[in-house]
Amino acid sequence: MDYLSRLLSKDIEKWLERREIIAITGPRQCGKTTLLAMLKDYLIEQKKVQPDRILYVTFEDRDLLDSFTKHPKEFIQSFTAQSKEEKFYFLIDEFQYVKEGGQKLKLLYDLYENVKFIITGSSSLELKGVTAKYLVGRIFYFSLFQFNFEEFLETKPPQVLHSYQETAALAGDFILKDKKFEIPAEVFEKDIAGCFEEYVIFGGYPEVIKTDDMDAKHLILKNIYATYISKDIVELLRVEDVSGCRNIIASLANQIGSLLNYNSLATDAKSYFKQIKQYLFMLEETFVIRRISPYFTNKATELKKNPKVYFVDTGLRNHIINNFNPCEIRPDAGALVENTVLSQFCSRNYESIRYWRTMGKAEVDFILDINNEIIPFEIKYSLFKFPEITRGFRNFINEYKPRRAIVFTKSFWAELDIGATKVLFIPVMYA
């Protein structure tokens, strides 16, 4: 079967021969089930594993879940009894539904040395919570999110994707390796920019990007949100005040890229501080929002407490506020693009992503620590006539003297030297 490729599949493939359990977490309907199917095909086609040695089960099937929960050894043995010498691969979807799943998985891992377990779950809170303390040293965790922009471009003409990949690789070499950068002659830049705006508005859920029908996109996002509320909020996490939770989500959707104001959230949800903190933790662990913390070294002058909040998927966020207007007529276009840049960073597994703000309100959108180097990023989704930077960006450069800094623009390329810092202006779709 033909699948839209996922970058994570290559990362996982190289660990399939090891004993450790592989756990894949990520939002509902982001493609975890499809990724399991892709791994199954890889095992059959590339590793020549016999199909009957690869077992896929989903614990959305309550009969299978009940059977496994009550008798895990007998469940596995029913599939493997015919051959104790052959290696088996168990692909288990929605593992978070298993009660005491970590204990059961440890038992099976210890008993069946010829079985490789690959599990998925839509709640990091539930999946890691039930497995981590029992499986230390026995499990590798991976996160699968919605399609990033490069994966999204797989649905577009191949020349657009290839052109994007070439230019994005040059920008990535500058960011990651401090390689000399020459501004490219980009033939398909307008096409890529149009695709980027579509991606910003509708996000990266697989079913959303596979259709060109706008009404279908709206309906899919509506159903994803409804399923999240019914499955994760009500069924899995047992949240009783569903209305309050919806109010929190709606309030957060209207303040992406802003500092969290707990008092304001408590007022909107008619709740209290402790409950708000629990909701935020829950929303982050079920892959609805992301919080990033401030970067600081000077405790006297730099903000060090309040996080900023973003959504994992901008399409879901736009559904929540019921606004799918194009960027050119949106007052929140800058915040949406900033949110998209954060999603791109996360898809590349950048581990340290923070923002910087002083008590005097000088601010930099993102600070990344890459290979022990601090790199500031500013997002300015506007037209430039010449290279210019904000006061906050200049203050950070003067204070910390990074070797390189990046301003993501709408369509502007340029270089600017500020002391020993090289500032590169890059169109944001190459973030």
Q: What is the CATH number of the domain that holds 85?
A: 3.40.50.300
Q: Is residue 2 part of a domain?
A: no
**Last residue within a domain, chosen from 126, 144, 162:** 144
Q: Is residue 58 part of a domain?
A: yes
Shared-domain flag, residues 139 and 198: no
Residue 61 region, left (φ>0) first, then alpha (ψ -120 to 50), else beta? beta
Q: Is there a contact between 389 and 378 (Cβ–Cβ < 8 Å)?
A: yes
pLDDT at 129: 67
| Nearest-angstrom CA–CA distance, 173 and 161 | 18
pLDDT at 126: 63
Shared-domain flag, residues 116 and 59: yes
Shared-domain flag, residues 247 and 268: yes
Shared-domain flag, residues 51 and 157: no
**Last residue within a domain, chosen from 144, 164, 189:** 144
Shared-domain flag, residues 114 and 171: no
Shared-domain flag, residues 139 and 179: no
Shared-domain flag, residues 87 and 159: no
Reference 121, options 236, 16, 206, 291; nearest CA is: 236
Shared-domain flag, residues 192 and 117: no
**Rounded to two decimals, what is the model's pTM?**
0.92
pLDDT at 429: 95
Structural domains of the chain, count: 2
Shared-domain flag, residues 134 and 66: yes
Which residues constitute the domain of residue 346? Answer: 150-430
pLDDT at 1: 61
Strand pairing category for 404-409 and 421-427 = parallel
Q: Which residues of the chain have pLDDT under 70?
A: 1, 123-127, 129-130
Q: Is residue 19 part of a domain?
A: yes
pLDDT at 233: 87
Q: Is residue 1 part of a domain?
A: no
Burial class (CB in 10 A: 0-12, 13-18, 19+), 13: middle
Q: Is residue 369 part of a domain?
A: yes
Shared-domain flag, residues 253 and 269: yes
Distances (CA, A) of 431 to 149, 199, 260, 284, 416: 9, 13, 25, 23, 18
Collapsing DSSP states into helix, strand and coil, what is residue 131? Answer: helix
Shared-domain flag, residues 265 and 135: no
Neighbouring residues of 74: CB distance < 8 A, sequence distance ≥ 6: none
**Last residue within a domain, chosen from 144, 169, 200:** 144
Shared-domain flag, residues 262 and 326: yes
Task: State the DSSP H helix or E strand holding residue 370, giving kind and residue range, or none if neither.
Answer: strand 363-370
